[in-house]
């Protein structure tokens, strides 16, 4: 499971079997997990994060979306 970024105690990564889905990033940390679609920055799912953590996660994804998309396309082709 390639890790793309670590920031604010969150790990942003994808799973090697994710290539059949549209580009997205998984987020783990603080006892929670989330999945964010990279094309529009919307949450696909979230569990265990509070609203403040969700806002921070979405901010980090927005700030690093280009890097995350490049990592996705480099890995999955």
Q: What is the DSSP string of 12-57?
A: EE--TTGGGSPSEEEEEETTEEEEEETTT--EEEEES--HHHHHHH
pLDDT of residue 1: 81
What proportion of the chain, given as a percentage, has pLDDT over 90? 96
Distance from CA of residue 53 to its chain's centroid? 13
Domain extent listing, the chain: 3-76
Low-confidence ranges of the chain (pLDDT < 50): none
């Amino acid at each position: 499971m390639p890790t793309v970024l670590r920031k604010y105690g969150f790990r942003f990564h994808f799973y090697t079997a994710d290539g059949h889905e549209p580009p997205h990033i998984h987020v783990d940390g603080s006892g929670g997990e989330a999945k964010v679609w990279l094309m529009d920055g919307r949450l696909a799912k979230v569990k265990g994060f509070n609203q403040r953590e969700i806002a921070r996660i979405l901010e980090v994804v927005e700030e690093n979306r280009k890097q995350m998309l490049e990592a996705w396309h480099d890995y999955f082709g």
